[in-house]
Amino acid sequence: MAAKRVTIFGGSGFIGRYLVERLASAGAVIRVAVRYPAEAAFLKPAGAVGQIAPLRASVSDEAAVAEAVEGADWVVNLAGILYQRGARTFENVHHLGARNVAQAAAAAGVARLVHVSALGAEPGAAAEYARSKAAGEVAVRDAFPAATILRPSVVFGPEDDFFNRFAALVRLMPLVPVVGAGFDFPIGQRTRLGIDFCRDGGASFQPVYVGDVAAAAAVALTRGDAAGQTYELGGPQIYTMKRILEMILERTNRRRWLVPWPFGLARFQAAFLEYLPTPPLTRDQVAMLESDNVVAPDAVTLADLGLHPTPVDGVLDTYMDRYRAGGRFTRPRQA
């Protein structure tokens, strides 16, 4: 590994910081290709002097991408967005950006390419996010057939934008919406957290730990049998949206009513919320909640890379305390 030169696009993001640390500890020399190199400077202490070098290279800039991969042995593309702003569209980042990286890697003679997509990436998906991810996978395969594609479910960890987002919301809201859950008249359905109005739990998710996704990318770079494969990455358990919210409430010592929220109402709210600087919800994200986000029964998974998925419980306990009623040192209520 010591001789390997790696270019990581989007390396200063959530997954990227874990992958950079892992590869640096193994001796790789890393270029972190990002739009704003100064914001990636925090990664430098993860390696020796000069081992980790941030550089400016948006995946939308073909010339910058080509320069970033020149001389690299391995390339990893982690670039992705959750909502669109200006030129930062799903099409430009997930499809055309992925194409630019794969074509540049092939032209530069890069030995291995790992492309991180998303679970649920399908050409006919309801969400534009998922359709653009699918288009990116096709572009990567066309340009670099031996690329390894990783499709993680919802990724969790201390810096995530999933559990943290909902924990921040339940701190402020007396009623917590469960998008897509059916309504049930709550006769005799009181729970420890209040009255249960939900007939079901909404969409299902299989959250995967960020460290496991980083490990999968690192392992895929070194294993010959990973070339050309597509891996679906999920954790050891599947949770409904309702159960995820209950887990957050339990760990933050809060009691809230969980109420069913029809997709139509959620789309109406998102039509306004998506114009906020950092939108808590967009119409495209509502569309994503209309389908389960779980690993297919016949998929190639973390186990095929020799990795064992990390459960949510132990990791969630390490960062939900910041939202706890009464302060982070208050003991959580027992489930």
Contact call for residues 34 and 64 (beta carbons, < 8 A): no
Res. 182: pLDDT tops 60: no
What CA–CA distance (Å, rounded) separates 36 from 1?
A: 27
Q: Which of 73, 9, 14, 5 is nearest to 213 (CA)?
A: 14
Contact call for residues 263 and 180 (beta carbons, < 8 A): yes
Res. 188: pLDDT tops 60: no
What CA–CA distance (Å, rounded) separates 2 from 5?
A: 8
**Tokens standing for residue 253:** 């010592």
Which pLDDT belongs to residue 174? 83
Please provide the DSSP assignment of 72-91 as one string.
-SEEEE----SS-BTTB-HI
115 beta partners? 77, 149
pLDDT, tens only, 110-166: 999 999 999 999 999 999 999 999 999 999 999 999 999 999 999 999 999 999 999
Which pLDDT belongs to residue 335? 47
Tell me if residue 236 falls in helix, strand or coil: coil
Cα distances (angstroms) measured from residue 104 to each of 77, 216, 322: 12, 23, 43
- Confidence tier at 256 by pLDDT (50, 70, 90): confident
Query: ∠328-333-335 over CA atoms, to 5°?
Result: 130
Contact call for residues 8 and 76 (beta carbons, < 8 A): yes
Which pLDDT belongs to residue 185? 52
DSSP 43: G
pLDDT, tens only, 49-106: 999 999 999 999 999 999 999 999 999 999 999 999 999 999 999 999 999 999 999 9
Instruction: List every span in the chain annotated with CATH 3.40.50.720.
Output: 5-152
pLDDT, tens only, 284-319: 999 999 999 999 999 999 999 999 999 999 899 999
Res. 1: pLDDT tops 50: no
Please provide the DSSP assignment of 145-190 as one string.
TT-EEEEE-SEESTT-SSHHHHHHHHTT-SEEEEETPPB---TT-E
Cα distances (angstroms) measured from residue 268 to each of 48, 126, 203, 286, 302: 51, 17, 19, 10, 38
**Tokens standing for residue 270:** 């998102």
First-to-final CA distance of the chain: 45
Largest CA distance in the chain: 67
Tell me if residue 32 falls in helix, strand or coil: strand
The residue with tokens 């479910």 is: 153
Res. 39: pLDDT tops 90: yes
Q: Which of 114, 215, 117, 207 is nearest to 153 (CA)?
A: 207
Q: Which of 278, 303, 197 is nearest to 242 (CA)?
A: 197
Res. 47: pLDDT tops 70: yes
Q: Which of 230, 255, 238 is nearest to 294 (CA)?
A: 238
DSSP 225: G
The residue with tokens 């499709």 is: 151
Pick 257 or 239 by higher pLDDT: 239
Check if CATH label 3.40.1190.10 holds for domain 5-152.
no
**Tokens standing for residue 46:** 């993860």
Q: How far does Cα 177 stand from its chain's mean position? A: 22
Close Cβ partners of 264 (under 8 Å, ≥ 6 residues apart) = none
Which pLDDT belongs to residue 193? 47
